[in-house]
Structure 1
Amino acid sequence: MHTLLLLVQKLSCEVEEQIFSEVSLAIQKPESYFEMFKDRLDERGIDSPIDELAWI
């Protein structure tokens, strides 16, 4: 399992399933993650998929 996903499991408490699925999507399909959260990412100045999406 990806190290970041293990960290999510440890830190996410009651929303583990939601965060786990979002982080998994960002790791496995960054383009899909970007499209899903385009507005939120745009507010942060991110206008295209980047390798660090899972950390954001």
Structure 2
Amino acid sequence: MRDFKDAHGSTGQYQGRARVYGRAGEACSRCGGIIQRIMQGQRATYFCAGCQRR
């Protein structure tokens, strides 16, 4: 995500909008809770337990 470039060589915009991706162990910008990272298969999932709907 951080090194994404489209077919024209422009950088992607998603990483500027991601609120939890790659921020495990940091404080959530919404509630102040700690962002967690879990592995599902061989993929990482980042979430804030306080904000995540159940």
- Tell me the TM-score normalised to structure 1 length: 0.31
More helix, by proportion: 1
**Structure possessing the higher radius of gyration over alpha carbons:** 2
- Greater RCO structure (CA 8 Å; 6+ sep): 1
- Tell me the TM-score normalised to structure 2 length: 0.32
More strand, by proportion: 2
